[in-house]
């Protein structure tokens, strides 16, 4: 097999037909094969950090090194800007294939080692075997794609094809198409949950929460479709959609009512891409609203995935003038020393602690200490999931600044929130 010599940006890759040809030929010789489909994460970031030329060189280098993985020349093809296929023959069992995959991971690290940032070299490998999973080259490559998607969903570096995952993913694929439709048809809506100031019980703003009523399926939980969107890449469109909708809505409310702040949730992949700042700039300027009218909520865990990059993006958001809130605080793994440098304005105590605070000593302590920690770092603090008057009173006593929860109001459509405001 010849090596792909194309350079970025966005060259054409014709490795797919060569790979399927080669696989077909090997199968006809009744060889046992394993196909490893390699998916490289964060290509955009790689290019943004190193420049397209350097990123292209490193990926070519990676391909060259892969070709000398085994004793004989290994077949490697570049299928797209972020995918390679490696065909391994004569490996006797899954253990040997796993070893080869681990070797591929090491090759990746070595390629990016030294001068470059190793955190740029994350990959997911989907693996299929022939004859076990079929004897048709295109079908095998399709199964390898399923294994990659499965691995990405479960955050695994090495993922062997499992037919059961295919069924699950097909369900998801349906959701993927339906979600695209929903963004166009208006089945996807933004609801708003009021946030109140605990000093005077006044509404200071709301959290924007996505709602999807799918005509055939019914209500689809955001936990489900956000995860689908994150694994398919639709999260980018979905986030743009949310930002545009919220800004349009906020421009109406700000003109009619005055001061309000609306919070938008963003996911781990969004926080690793400076594009979100351009999206905010664009939407606020189109709708004529101040950046300070928006808060971006990002979970504590999302930040820990890549501290350097998330730090950079959050700093950019704050420089732009919008606020940053650390969501689900207390459920992640950040340390106190990290809090010192975190570019945030607010901590949001996870609802599981708030909901348990009056029945569980441990939860109570977590809520109390989080409020103290936030204060000592000069951050404001919000409790979410406030379901009773007793919880609200206790939070006031503990000095919590803001609250959100069913006791105040459930997330409601825009017009209902407007009535609630009045």
Sites of contact with Ca ion (CB under 5 A)? 265, 297, 327-328
Show the tokens assigned to 262.
């609306």
Show the tokens assigned to 375.
């204060």
To which H or E segment does residue 240 belong? helix 235-257
Of the pair 193, 284, the CB lying nearest ligand C2E is at 193
Of the pair 107, 357, the CB lying nearest ligand C2E is at 357
Residues in 375-394 at the binding interface with ligand C2E, rule: CB under 6 A: 384-387
The crossing angle, in degrees rounded to 10, of helices 235-257 and 163-185 is: 30
Of the pair 230, 297, the CB lying nearest Ca ion is at 297
Rounded CA-CA distance 108/116 in Å is: 12
Which listed option, Ca ion, ligand C2E, none, makes contact with residue 222 (CB within 5 to 8 Å by class)?
ligand C2E
* 242 interacts with ligand C2E by CB under 6 A: yes
* 195 interacts with ligand C2E by CB under 6 A: no
Tell me how far apart the terminal alpha carbons of the chain are, to the nearest angstrom. Answer: 69
Per residue in 214-244, is it b (16+ CB within 10 Å) or e — as a string?
beeeeebebeebbbbbbbbebbbebbbbbbb
3-state secondary structure at position 342: coil
Name the residue with tokens 């993006």.
Answer: 313
* 234 interacts with ligand C2E by CB under 6 A: no
CB of 305 to Ca ion, least distance (A): 17
Rounded CA-CA distance 138/297 in Å is: 42
* 420 interacts with ligand C2E by CB under 6 A: no
* 223 interacts with ligand C2E by CB under 6 A: yes
* 193 interacts with ligand C2E by CB under 6 A: yes
Name the residue with tokens 């030929």.
Answer: 25
Of the pair 111, 267, the CB lying nearest ligand C2E is at 267
* 74 interacts with ligand C2E by CB under 6 A: no
Residues in 196-215 at the binding interface with ligand C2E, rule: CB under 6 A: 209-210
Nearest of 329, 315, 311, 261 to residue 289 by alpha carbon: 261
Query: Site residues (CB under 6 A) for ligand C2E?
Result: 193, 209-210, 221-223, 226, 242, 265-267, 297, 327-328, 351, 384-387, 404-406, 411
């Amino acid at each position: 097999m010849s090596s792909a010599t194309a350079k970025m940006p966005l060259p054409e890759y014709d490795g797919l037909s060569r790979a399927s040809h080669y696989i077909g030929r090997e199968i006809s010789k009744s060889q046992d094969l394993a196909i490893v489909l390699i998916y490289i994460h964060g290509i955009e970031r790689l290019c943004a950090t190193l420049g397209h030329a350097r990123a292209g060189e490193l990926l070519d280098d990676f391909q060259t090194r892969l070709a000398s993985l085994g004793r004989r020349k290994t077949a490697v093809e570049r299928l797209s800007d972020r995918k390679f296929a490696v065909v391994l023959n004569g490996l006797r069992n899954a253990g040997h294939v796993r070893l080869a995959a681990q070797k591929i991971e090491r090759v990746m690290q070595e390629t990016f080692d030294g001068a470059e940032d190793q955190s740029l070299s994350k990959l997911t490998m989907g693996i299929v075997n022939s004859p076990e999973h079929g004897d048709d080259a295109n079908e095998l490559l399709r199964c390898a794609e399923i294994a990659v998607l499965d691995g990405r969903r479960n955050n695994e570096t090495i993922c062997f094809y499992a037919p059961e995952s295919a069924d699950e993913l097909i369900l998801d694929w349906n959701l993927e198409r339906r979600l695209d439709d929903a963004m166009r048809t208006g089945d996807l809506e933004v609801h708003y949950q009021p946030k109140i100031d605990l000093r005077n019980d006044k509404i200071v703003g709301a959290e924007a929460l996505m709602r999807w009523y799918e005509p055939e399926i019914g209500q689809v939980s955001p936990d489900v479709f956000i995860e689908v969107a994150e694994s398919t890449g639709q999260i980018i469109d979905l986030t743009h959609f949310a930002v545009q909708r919220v800004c349009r809505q906020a421009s109406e409310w700000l003109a009619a009512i005055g001061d309000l702040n609306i919070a938008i949730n963003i996911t781990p992949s969004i926080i690793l891409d400076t594009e979100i700042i351009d999206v905010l700039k664009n939407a606020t300027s189109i709708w004529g609203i101040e950046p300070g009218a928006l808060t971006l909520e990002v979970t504590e865990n999302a930040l820990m995935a890549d501290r350097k990059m998330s730090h950079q993006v959050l700093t950019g958001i704050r420089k732009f003038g919008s606020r940053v809130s650390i969501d689900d605080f207390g459920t992640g793994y950040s340390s106190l020393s990290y809090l010192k440098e975190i570019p945030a304005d607010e901590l949001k105590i996870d609802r599981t602690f708030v909901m348990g605070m009056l029945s569980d000593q441990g939860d109570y302590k977590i809520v109390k200490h989080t409020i103290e920690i936030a204060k000592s770092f000069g951050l404001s603090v919000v409790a979410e999931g406030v379901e009773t008057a007793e919880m609200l009173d206790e939070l006031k006593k503990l000095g919590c600044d803001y609250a959100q929860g069913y006791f105040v109001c459930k997330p409601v459509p825009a017009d209902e929130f407007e009535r609630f405001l009045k």
